[in-house]
A and B are shown apart, each in its own frame.
Chain A
Amino acid sequence: KQEVTQIPAALSVPEGENLVLNCSFTDSAIYNLQWFRQDPGKGLTSLLLIQSSQREQTSGRLNASLDKSSGRSTLYIAASQPGDSATYLCAVRYSSASKIIFGSGTRLSIRP
C-alpha cells in the first residue's frame, strides 16, 4: 500500500532556529514530490516540487531534498520566522497522470 507519513505531527520552535521537516513514502517509484504550506482554513500554497530525477530544490530560505532509495524527503527551513507558522504538507505523485497521495502534515509553530 502506498503511504506518505510525516513526522512529527506538530513542532514548536523559537524564532531564528533552523529546522527540518520529514516526509517518508513507502513506494520509491515516484514521479515527483511536492511540498505545500496550508494556513488555517485556507487552501494549499505550493512551496517546492522535486522531480524523481532531482535530489533537491531551493527557494529562498527553503530547501527540499529527495532520497528515493530510502523513501525520504526533507524540508529545511533556515532562520525561521513567525510567518512560517503553518501546516506543511508533503505530496507524492506516482504517475504523470494522477495518483497523488498526501501526508497528514506537520503543524509548525514559530515562537517570537
Chain B
Amino acid sequence: ETGVTQTPRHLVMGMTNKKSLKCEQHLGHNAMYWYKQSAKKPLELMFVYNFKEQTENNSVPSRFSPECPNSSHLFLHLHTLQPEDSALYLCASSQAGTGDQGTQYFGPGTRLLVL
C-alpha cells in the first residue's frame, strides 16, 4: 500500500450528479497531481498543485473543478459529466522545489463510470 490514498475506489454517477473525489498523501510532499487514464490512451495530466497553488491546468473542461485546501489533501469536484469522462482517475504526489528528485507516488485510483 502506498502513502497516497484515494476515495472512493469506485464511483457510478449520472450526468446530472455532483460528486467529489478525494486524495490524501501521508508522505510530507508539497506537490499533488490529478491524472486521467482512459482505455487505450496515455495517462493524461489534468492539474498540478505546488504548495497548494495550482500551477497547471492542462486544458481540462470546467465540469472538473480541483481543490487543494492544504498540502496533504486534494479534491476533484465533478458536475454534469459526460459518458466519455468515464475513466480511472489517479492522484499522485511528489516533493517539489529546487533540486528535488521529483519521484511521483501514485494512489490506487478511483474508477469512475458516468451513465
**Interface residues, chain A, with chain B CB atoms under 8 Å away:** 4, 31-32, 34, 36, 41-46, 49, 51, 89, 91, 93, 96-105
Tell me which residues from 27 to 42 in chain B have a Cβ below 8 Å from any Cβ of chain A.
Answer: 33, 40-42
**Which bracket fits the contact residues of B?**
20 to 34
Please, how many angstroms separate the alpha-carbon atoms of A99 and B88 in the complex?
20
B96 near A89 with CB under 8 A, answer no
Residues of chain B within 8 A of A36, CB atoms compared: 106
B102 near A93 with CB under 8 A, answer yes
A42 near B109 with CB under 8 A, answer yes
Residues of chain B within 8 A of A41, CB atoms compared: 88, 109, 111
**Interface residues, chain B, with chain A CB atoms under 8 Å away:** 2, 4, 6, 33, 40-45, 48, 50, 55-56, 88, 90, 92, 96-98, 100-109, 111
A102 near B43 with CB under 8 A, answer yes
Residues of chain A within 8 A of B88, CB atoms compared: 41
Please, how many angstroms separate the alpha-carbon atoms of A78 and B37 in the complex?
29
B101 CB to nearest A CB, Å: 6
23 A-B pairs with CB atoms under 8 Å apart are: A4-B42, A41-B88, A43-B2, A43-B108, A43-B109, A44-B90, A44-B92, A45-B106, A46-B105, A49-B101, A51-B101, A89-B43, A91-B104, A96-B98, A96-B100, A97-B50, A98-B50, A98-B56, A100-B45, A102-B42, A102-B43, A102-B44, A104-B40
Please, how many angstroms separate the alpha-carbon atoms of A104 and B104 in the complex?
17
Please, how many angstroms separate the alpha-carbon atoms of A45 and B2 in the complex?
8
The listed residue (A32, A44, A98, A105) touching B55 by CB distance below 8 A is A98
State the majority secondary structure of interface residues on A: strand
A46-B103, A46-B104 known; A97-B55 Cβ under 8 A? yes
Residues of chain B within 8 A of A91, CB atoms compared: 43, 104
A49 near B108 with CB under 8 A, answer no
B96 near A104 with CB under 8 A, answer no
Residues of chain A within 8 A of B48, CB atoms compared: 97-98
